[in-house]
Amino acid sequence: MATLLELHGVVSGYHGARVLQGVEMTAERGSITCIVGPNGAGKSTLLKTLSGVLQPTEGTITLDGERIDGLTSSEILAKGVVQVPQARALFPSLTVRENVLMGAYIIRRHRRLVRERLDHVEEVIPIVRERGADKAGNLSGGQRRAVEFARSLMLDPSMVLLDEPSLGLDPKSLAKVWELIARMRDHGRTILLVEQNFRFAAPVADRHYLLACGPERAVAATKSVVEQALFYDILFRKLRGRPLPDLSRLADAMGGAMEMKLPEEIVRRLVGSPTLFWAGRNNGVAEELTLKSNEITHKRSDYLEGTYAVHGIEEVMDAKDSVIVVDPFADEEEKFRDVLAGGVGMSVFAIADRETAFPTVRIDSYGEFLPYIQLAAGWNLLVEIGVALGRDIDKAERARKVGNELNE
C-alpha cells in the first residue's frame, strides 16, 4: 500500500504544554490504523492536531505527499480529512437524514452532488435510508454511531479520524460498529482510530501504535505509572492469551488502598522521620515509592535492595529514621526486627495483605496483580505525609483519585 499520512517529530498541546512529544507514525492508504493508549496519553490531542483544531509547534504532517501542518481546520477538511468526535455528536431533535446532510454543509449549494453523496452513503450505511425520517434521539448507541459515520462520509473523505468509536457501546453494538468500520475501509476510506479498548481495536486494525504518557509533575506521576502499567499489562496479556483480572475487583481494591484511613501512629512517626527507607521484593514497587518520597514529601529517601539493609548499612542509620517494607518475606521480617528495630532503634512498618511483625497498612490481596494495590497504598501513605507536612501536592482528594479507566 502507498502511504497516505506521515507524521515526523510532531509536538503539540495546549497553552504551551507539550502533550505530544515527537510523534512518529504513518498510515497506509486504504488501511485501518489504530492508536491505543491510556487516558492522558494524548490520543484525542493527536486527532485534533491532525484535523487542524490544534497547531503543532514542531514536526511535520504530510497528507498524500503534501504538508498540512499549519493549515486551518477548514483547509484540512477541504483536503478530505474528517473527524468523528468521541460521543454525542448528533442533533437529537433532527432526523437521521437531516443529521447526515449536515455533513455536506460546505457543499450544500451543489445539490446534485449532495444527492449523489447521500445515495452512496445510504448504500454503505443502510440505516440512513431505513431510519431516515426518525429522530436521531430515538436511536440506540450503536445506531447513533453509524449515523455519525455516515455524516462524515458526505464529503467523500480520503481519511476518516475516529475518536474512541467503542465508547459506551454494548458488545452487540460493538460488533456492528466494527463491521461498519471495515465496510468504510472496503469502500476506499483510510481510517485512523484511537482507542482504549484493545479487545475492540486489535482485530479491527491493520497496524497498531502505542501512545504512552510523557513526563508529568509529581502529584500525578505515581498514579500514571500505575495506570500505564495496568494498561500495558492488560494489552500484552491479551496478545499472549494470558488470564485477565476482574477489573472491577481490581479497581475496588486499588481505590480502597488509595483512600483508606491510615493508622495515625504510622503517619505520625513517618512525618517525624528525617529519612524514609523503602524495602520490598524485586518488582519495582518499593523503588517507585522511594523516588516519589523525595518528590512528594521532600524527605530524604533510599531503597534497600536485597540483604543490603542488614549487612552494614545499619551502621549509618539513625534511630529517628523509618523503614517501610512492602510485602516482606517471613525471614526478612525477623532480620529487620532484630537489626533495624532492635539494633538501631528505628521504626519499621509494612504494607501487606496480611499481618506482619510490624505495624502494617493492610490491603486486599489479588494474586499477581497485588503490586498495583501495593503502589496505591504507598501513594496514599505519601500523600498523607505530604498533607501533614504542608507540601504543595494539589488537593488531597484529587491526589488520591485513580483518574483513569481501563476497559476490558
DSSP-based three-state secondary structure for 400: coil
Pairwise CA distance, residues 301 & 353, whole Å: 24
H-run or E-run covering 389: helix 370-389
- Walk me through the domains of the chain, giving residue ranges and CATH numbers: 3-210 (3.40.50.300), 218-399 (3.40.50.10490)
Alpha helices in 125-240 (DSSP H): 127-130, 141-152, 171-186, 198-204, 218-240
Classified as helix, coil or strand, 117 is: helix
Q: Where are the beta strands (DSSP E) in 100-141?
A: none
* Encoded amino acid at 342, one letter: G
The upper half-sphere exposure of residue 75, i.e. CA atoms within 13 Å in the direction of its Cβ, equals: 10
Residue (of 42, 33, 36) closest to 6 by Cα position: 33
Q: How far apart are CA 31 and CA 26, in angstroms?
A: 11
What's the pTM value of the predicted model, to 2 decimals?
Answer: 0.56
Sheet holding 3-14, edge to edge: 17-28, 3-14, 58-63, 66-67
Residues contacting 254, CB < 8 A, separation 6+: 226, 372, 373, 376, 402
The pLDDT value recorded for residue 224 is 60
Residue type, position 228, single letter: Q
Cα separation of 8 and 346, whole Å? 54
The per-residue pLDDT string of the chain (408 residues; one tens digit each, 9 = 90 and over) reads 689 999 999 999 887 778 888 899 999 999 999 988 766 678 888 999 999 999 999 999 999 999 999 899 999 999 999 999 876 778 999 999 999 999 998 888 999 999 999 999 998 899 999 999 999 989 888 888 899 999 999 998 999 999 888 876 777 777 888 888 888 898 889 999 988 777 677 777 888 888 775 544 444 445 566 767 777 788 788 778 888 888 888 888 988 998 899 999 999 999 999 999 999 888 888 988 988 888 788 888 888 875 545 555 666 678 899 999 999 988 888 888 888 888 889 999 999 999 999 999 999 999 889 999 999 999 899 999 988 988 766 544 444 444 333 333
Report the C-alpha dihedral over residues 397, 398, 400, 403, rounded to 10 degrees: 140
CA distance 71 to 210: 26
User: How far is Cα of residue 360 from the mean position of the Cα atoms in its chain?
Assistant: 31
